[in-house]
């Protein structure tokens, strides 16, 4: 019943969620005019996706930022898998046994023929086809039939054998005579019979344990059936209740996509204009940066020239002063050396050595030969009269204003653009209503003045828009804003179309009707469950009786073995055995009697459960798990001779559609949407109703009108270029830097004055005391003072001048070439803007349109994928079917049932050898009425003995009263 309900659920859901007729595709908008933008057909069929561009995608078509959609998840109670617990380790033994008994493959052909006959074997029974089919069935069921036949033989013969055995014993035959013959191997036989019976009893006990476990497991699982059914019906209700909310959520996400697009459309200044600016920046910004750096370099060069010239003038003065001081000191020393002391030996030699070094006492730098830099300073100063830095900033501003200029550029807008944008709103309206909307929404003065409007629409696609008696729009309008308004109106029109899809399906009413069927099915299933639980209780009680009956037999056997083994006395004769041993023998015979009395009933139970459980396991459970059962149902023309595919013929009345039970089950098992599982595209094509190709044409046509020419983008005017050229010809790079560096690299004096002074003091100390010695010492002191006061500062300034000249040389190196290169780059950048700005605008408008359309492509793809894969995911239907067949029928019932007969069957069969060994063994435990006495045994009295034919006497032992 649950299987039937699950199938009806699958069928009813697909029938009740499909409208009577497929929705007609919406009327297409105006066809896009041929313009700089590529047609939307190329965009939608591009392998790179809707956002691909030579510069790279603006946004990922897979998941644009802020557009991560996720359907609300449904929580189901029923688990996907069933785990029976520790008993699961016993089921493979049953499966292996059935594989041995029934090793043949699944009989697909036989089942197909049986289904074609509608399970009627009586019709045409005598025909050869029926005979062949019967033989095939017998051949397939041969293993089970043989086992069942053996069981039936056991059922028939065991009562007869038991009856004959009892009659024979009553006639004091078949061991009925209470006399035991003495045998030399009697001890061995007793032990052999006891061990054999014990081993057989152990095997029987294991089978009984299997029976008890299986019976208890079956009872436990039956008690869980109500919970399983309740959870499945609850999941089905959750499935039905969540489906409308999922559809509503998917439809409502168009508004989020639209708001994202509107946000980007309102931000066109930074997105479109900024992208244009970004495309031009690599060509423009480096040039402006170079000019800006050159403007700073001009200032730095002027400062460096002034500094060098100032230091040079100061050093010239210092050099002249140093030269004068050194000449005065040298003159004074020469005057002192004319002293008469220098003519007397040995002073004359000292004086001569001093005279030879006086020519070193002179300055070493001749800065007077270096020209002044006043001319170059004047040239640079003239260049600085033009504020190049401000001109560069104006170039930056002019270039950075491109996004603003894109938005504010004003040209006339063609009225057709407005009407094409307004058409999605008014195409389904009457002419007066259309004019009213155009008046209020678009505010056309001509319409307000009474102009007429004629819309020529084809049966499928709008092919033309004609305006009659419309005056042109007065004044310039903003094209970008007009295009944005056009696009927004188009997107709103798409939203109106999407929102009507849910209404066209009539989904809620259909679900309400189907919920009624679910409620009825649940009530009927509960009624069946009550009956099922009653039958389950009866089966459990019957299985318990069978197991207890076998357990009672085993108790008697175990008690007989225990008492017989414990109470046996090897010294006692058969007639003098003790009560414990005799009781053990009686227990064994009681077990034999119960076995012979009830074993045939046990075997009937085993045969019936074996036939039912084995066939259901092989013909239903195993093929259901590997889906071979669905392959049979999917056989063309099997269930209906006129339909190739039964399921599609039943659902769509189109039997040629390849819709199979296996396909539906597999898709539902994988939690696919019912749209994909039932291939509902054959009844309701989602792609037709979520096609935005026509509306994309309007958007691209609107953006195609954004062809504003950005004017007055001047990076640097003529004054700025002249300023650069003047700086290049200022002569800074033609200064003789080598002469300056060579002169400034010299030391201030020809000799180190401190060394010269020390040497002079040393020579003066060799002279005798007097005016000469004093004059030379005074001169050395003056030389030291000159070094500290003049030479040291002069040397520091000279070093600074040398470094400044080196820096100035580096700055001015290649100045004319650098200026020429900057001007060339500037001209190239200016030409690039002038010649390539319009193509860049067109290309970036296309990229911008791709980005906007990418949002909706992403949404549409997500909606299509959700409807096919996620919305109304029919996993609860597959779970309900699994619960009915795989869990309830196979796991709850068939597997425990098979384990039951697998345990009870061998236990019942082993009762036959157990009876034989128990009867044999009872002779060795019971107290006999007579015993055998040999002639050579003197200890045994010979009275009351009868001569036997074998040379010994039978001794009768009188029974105690």
Determine how many CB atoms are found less than 10 A away from the CB of residue 938. 7
> Within 13 A of 379's CA, how many CA atoms are on the CB side?
18
Place of tokens 């319009």: 838
| Token code pair at residue 564 | 């017989």
pLDDT band at 495 (very low <50, low <70, confident <90, very high): low
What's the pLDDT band for 497 if we cut at 50, 70, 90?
low
Tokens at 698, concatenated: 């309007």
Distance CA 204, CA 553 (A): 10
- Is the confidence at residue 168, as pLDDT, over 70? yes
* Model confidence pLDDT, tens digit, residues 248-303: 888 788 888 888 877 777 777 777 777 777 777 877 888 888 878 877 877 888 78
b (16+ CB within 10 A) / e for 316-342: bebbeebbebbeebbeebeebbebebb
Q: Which H or E run contains 954? A: strand 952-956
pLDDT of residue 355: 80
Find the farthest-apart pair of alpha carbons in the chain and give their distance in angstroms, rounded.
Answer: 192
Distinct helix (H) and strand (E) counts, the chain: 35, 6
Cβ proximity of 175 and 919 under 8 Å: yes
Note the pLDDT of residue 170.
Answer: 77
DSSP string, 100-137: HH--SPP-HHHHHHHHHTTT--STTTTSHHHHHHHHHH
H-helix or E-strand spanning residue 952: strand 952-956
* Stretch 310-330: mean pLDDT: 83
pLDDT confidence band for 930 (50 / 70 / 90): low
Q: 3-state DSSP call for residue 584?
A: helix
The answer to whether 246 and 867 are in contact (CB under 8 A) is: no
Distance CA 468, CA 451 (A): 7
The whole-angstrom separation of Cα 17 and Cα 330 is 123
DSSP string, 555-589: HHHHHHHHHHHHH--TTS-GGG--HHHHHHHHHHH
Residue 710: burial class (beta carbons within 10 Å; 0-12, 13-18, 19+)? buried
Q: What is the pLDDT of residue 931?
A: 66
Closest CA to 850 of 253, 275, 408: 275
DSSP-assigned letters across all residues of 344-372: STTHHHHHHHHHHHGGG-SB---GGGSPP
Full DSSP string of 325-338: HHHHHHHHHHHHTT
> Rounded distance, CA 592 to CA 557, Å?
8
Q: Retrieve residue 671's tokens.
A: 């939690």
Q: Which residues contact 827 (CB under 8 A, 6 or more apart)?
A: none
Q: Per DSSP, what are the bridge partners of residue 453?
A: 467
CA distances to 276, 284, 391, 392, 484 from 723, in Å: 30, 19, 10, 12, 44
pLDDT at 236 over 60: yes
Question: Who's near 616: CB < 8 A, 6+ residues apart?
Answer: 889, 890, 894
CB 213 within 8 A of CB 895: no
Element containing residue 877 per DSSP (H, E):
helix 875-882
The winner for highest mean pLDDT among 45-49, 173-177, 210-214, 297-301 is: 210-214
Least confident of 402-406, 564-568, 653-657, 830-834: 402-406
The residue among 586, 848, 765 whose CA lies nearest residue 36 is 848
- CA geometry: angle at 706 spanning 47 and 51, to 5°? 20
Q: Percent of the chain, pLDDT > 90?
A: 15
What mean pLDDT comes out for the span 676-693? 73
Q: In this structure, what token pair is assigned to residue 415?
A: 């009225």
Q: What is the pLDDT of residues 125-147, one digit of tens each?
A: 667 777 888 888 888 889 999 99
Tokens 């010695």 label which residue?
A: 773
For residue 426, give the nearest of 379, 493, 478, 368 by alpha carbon.
Answer: 493
Assign 487 a pLDDT band (cuts: 50, 70, 90): low
**Across 325-339, 437-451, 452-466, 622-636, least confident range:** 452-466
Helix (H), strand (E) at residue 764 = helix 753-764
Q: How far, in Å, CA of 316 to CA of 306, rounded?
A: 15
Q: Are 733 and 812 in contact (CB under 8 A)?
A: yes
Output phi, psi for 452, to 5 deg.
-100, 160
Tokens of 438: 């155009």
Has residue 198 got a pLDDT over 90?
yes
- HSE, side-chain direction, 13 A CA sphere, residue 623: 18
What CA–CA distance (Å, rounded) separates 509 from 292? 73
pLDDT at position 555 is: 95
* Among 192-201, 345-354, 851-860, 939-948, the least confident range: 939-948
Three-state SS at 338 = coil
Instruction: Say whether pLDDT at 104 is over 50.
Output: yes
Q: Which residues of 660-673 are buried (b: 16+ CB within 10 A; e: fewer)?
A: bbbbbbebbbebbb
Given a contact cutoff of 8 angstroms between Cβ atoms, the answer to whether 610 and 144 are in contact is: yes
Q: Could you count the other beta carbons within 10 Å of the beta carbon of residue 955?
A: 20
930-934/179-180 β-pairing: parallel
pLDDT value of position 511: 62
Burial readout 743-767 (b: 16 or more C-beta within 10 A, e: otherwise): bbeeebbbbebeebbebbbebbeeb
Q: Which of 15-24, 551-560, 571-580, 926-935 has the lowest mean pLDDT?
A: 15-24
Return the number of other C-beta atoms located less than 10 Å from residue 510's C-beta: 18
Among 78-87, 195-204, 429-438, the range with the most confident prediction by mean pLDDT is: 195-204
Mean pLDDT of the chain: 74
């Amino acid at each position: 019943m649950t299987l039937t309900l699950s199938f009806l659920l699958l069928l009813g859901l697909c029938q009740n969620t499909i409208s009577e007729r497929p929705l007609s595709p919406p009327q297409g908008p105006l066809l896009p005019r041929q313009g700089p933008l590529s047609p939307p057909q190329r965009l939608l069929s591009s392998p790179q996706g809707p956002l691909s561009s030579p510069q790279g995608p603006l946004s990922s078509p897979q998941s644009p930022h802020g557009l991560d959609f996720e359907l609300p998840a449904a929580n189901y109670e029923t688990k996907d898998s069933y785990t029976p617990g520790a008993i699961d380790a016993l089921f493979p033994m049953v499966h292996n046994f059935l594989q041995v008994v029934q090793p043949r493959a699944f009989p697909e052909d036989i089942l197909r023929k049986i289904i074609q006959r509608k399970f009627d074997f009586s019709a045409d029974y005598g025909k050869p086809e029926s005979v062949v089919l019967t033989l095939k069935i017998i051949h397939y069921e041969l293993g089970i039939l043989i086992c069942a036949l053996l069981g039936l033989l056991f059922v028939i013969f065991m009562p007869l054998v038991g009856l004959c055995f009892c009659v024979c014993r009553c006639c004091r035959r078949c061991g009925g005579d209470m006399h035991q013959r003495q045998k030399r191997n009697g001890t061995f036989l007793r032990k052999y019979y006891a061990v054999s019976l014990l081993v057989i009893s152990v095997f029987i006990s294991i089978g009984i344990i299997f029976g008890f476990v299986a019976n208890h497991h079956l009872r436990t699982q039956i008690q869980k059936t109500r919970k399983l059914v309740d959870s499945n019906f609850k999941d089905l209700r959750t499935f039905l209740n969540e489906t409308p909310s999922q559809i509503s959520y998917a439809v409502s996400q168009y508004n989020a996509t639209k708001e994202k697009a509107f946000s980007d459309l309102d931000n066109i200044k930074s997105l479109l204009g900024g992208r244009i600016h970004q495309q031009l920046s690599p060509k423009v910004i480096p040039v402006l940066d170079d000019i800006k750096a050159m403007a700073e370099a001009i200032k730095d060069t002027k400062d460096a020239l002034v500094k060098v010239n100032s230091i040079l003038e100061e050093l010239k003065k210092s050099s002249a002063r140093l030269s004068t001081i050194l000449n005065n000191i040298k003159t004074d020393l020469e005057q002192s050396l004319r002293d008469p002391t220098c003519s007397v030996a040995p002073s004359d030699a000292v004086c001569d050595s001093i005279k030879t070094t006086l020519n070193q006492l002179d300055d070493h730098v001749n800065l007077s030969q270096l020209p002044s830099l006043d001319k170059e300073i004047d040239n640079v100063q003239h260049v600085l009269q033009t504020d190049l830095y401000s001109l560069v900033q104006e170039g930056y501003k002019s270039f950075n204003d491109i996004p603003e200029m894109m938005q504010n550029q004003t040209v006339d807008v063609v009225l057709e653009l407005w009407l094409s944008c307004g058409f999605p709103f008014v195409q389904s309206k009457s002419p007066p209503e259309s004019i009213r909307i155009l008046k209020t929404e678009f505010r056309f003065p001509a319409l307000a003045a009474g102009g007429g409007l004629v819309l020529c629409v084809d049966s499928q696609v709008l092919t033309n828009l004609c305006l009659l008696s419309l005056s042109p729009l007065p004044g310039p309008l903003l094209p970008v804003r007009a295009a944005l308004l056009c696009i927004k109106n188009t997107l709103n029109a798409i939203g109106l179309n999407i929102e009507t899809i849910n209404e066209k399906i009539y989904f809620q009413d259909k679900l309400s009707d189907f919920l009624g069927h679910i409620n009825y099915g649940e009530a009927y299933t509960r009624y069946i469950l009550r009956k099922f639980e009653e039958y389950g209780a009866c089966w459990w009680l019957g299985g318990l009786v069978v197991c207890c009956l076998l357990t009672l037999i085993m108790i008697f056997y175990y008690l007989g073995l225990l008492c017989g083994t414990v109470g046996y006395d090897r010294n006692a004769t058969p007639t003098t055995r003790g009560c414990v041993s005799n009781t053990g023998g009686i227990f064994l015979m009681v077990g034999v009697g119960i076995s012979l009395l009830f074993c045939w009933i046990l075997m009937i139970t085993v045969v019936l459960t074996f036939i039912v459980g084995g066939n259901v396991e092989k013909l239903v459970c195993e093929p259901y798990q590997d889906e071979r059962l669905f392959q049979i149902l999917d056989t063309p023309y099997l269930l209906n001779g006129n339909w190739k595919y039964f399921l599609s013929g039943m659902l769509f009345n189109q039997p040629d559609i390849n819709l199979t039970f296996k396909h539906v089950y597999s898709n539902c098992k994988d939690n696919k949407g019912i749209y994909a599982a039932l291939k509902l595209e054959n009844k309701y094509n989602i792609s037709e109703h979520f096609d935005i190709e026509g509306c994309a044409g309007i958007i691209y046509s609107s953006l195609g009108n954004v062809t504003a020419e950005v004017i007055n983008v001047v990076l640097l005017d003529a004054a700025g270029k002249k300023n650069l050229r003047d700086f290049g010809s200022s002569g800074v790079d033609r200064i003789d830097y080598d002469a300056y560096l060579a002169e400034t690299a010299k030391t201030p004096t020809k000799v180190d004055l401190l060394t010269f002074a020390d040497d002079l003091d040393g020579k003066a100390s060799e002279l005798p005391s007097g005016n000469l010695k004093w004059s030379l010492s005074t001169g050395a002191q003056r030389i030291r003072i000159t070094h500290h006061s003049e030479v040291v500062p002069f040397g520091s300034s000279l070093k600074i001048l040398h470094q400044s000249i080196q820096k100035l040389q580096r700055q001015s190196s290649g100045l004319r070439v650098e200026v020429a290169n900057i001007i060339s780059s500037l001209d190239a950048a200016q030409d690039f803007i002038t010649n390539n700005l319009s193509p860049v605008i067109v290309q970036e408008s296309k990229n911008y349109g791709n980005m906007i359309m990418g949002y909706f492509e992403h949404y549409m793809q997500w909606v299509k994928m959700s409807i096919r894969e996620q919305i109304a995911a029919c996993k609860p239907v597959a779970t309900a079917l699994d619960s009915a067949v795989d869990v309830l029928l196979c796991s709850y019932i068939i597997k425990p049932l098979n384990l039951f007969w697998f345990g009870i069957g061998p236990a019942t069969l082993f009762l036959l050898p157990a009876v034989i060994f128990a009867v044999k063994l009872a002779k060795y435990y019971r107290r006999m009425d007579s015993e055998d006495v040999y002639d050579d045994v003197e200890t045994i009295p010979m009275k009351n003995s009868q001569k036997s034919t074998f040379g010994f006497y039978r001794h009768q032992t009188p029974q105690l009263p």
